[in-house]
Structure 1
């Protein structure tokens, strides 16, 4: 699967390597391209996943803020609830096209 913004692939991985949580596909850290940078100061805390790290996309036509997020250190029990350790996996905002 691919995460695409304005014809730029931000992440690409096989479906088996992704994790689906609450309707969002989470891509493994190794699949994330350099265009996605963890420069966002946005803060968010999920009651069961923990503190999120937001990412901006640096594209030739400018930067897009907060297009993706990750949970670098999920709370205890979160991986059990999901069925897989999703530490550092990255999910994308609805403005990003997710294709197979």
Structure 2
């Protein structure tokens, strides 16, 4: 799977984990030069507290476009530190 923003691959892996229709990419598959930590957080009733990254590619920013769980619930432990995308990031094979 590939995650693409502004025509640049920002993550790529054959080992994503699919939860609720979202592909969660392992942390080592991210090209971290395109990610900046965000202060934004959200809560999922069964996964826990999500933290976010904004994605920046060639001067274009997609705020809070990637999320991950630093300390997921026991039910979601398999996605600890894995990153999923939404908004302007396209995920495909």
Equivalent residue, structure 1, for 2:90 = 97
Specify the alignment match of 2:46 in structure 1: 48
Q: Across the two proteins, how many residue pairs are aligned to each other?
A: 92
Distance 1:63 1:95, change over 3 A: closer
RMSD (Å), alpha carbons = 1.2
Which protein shows a greater Rg?
Answer: 1
TM-score normalized with structure 2 length: 0.90
Deviations 1:9-62 (A, max 9, x none): 110011xx110010101000010112022x211110111111101110122223
What are the ranges of 5 or more consecutive residues in structure 1 without an aligned counterpart? 80-84
Going from structure 1 to structure 2, the CA distance change for 1:63 and 1:11 (only over 3 Å counts) comes to: same
Task: Give the structure with the larger strand fraction.
Answer: 2
TM-score (norm 1): 0.84
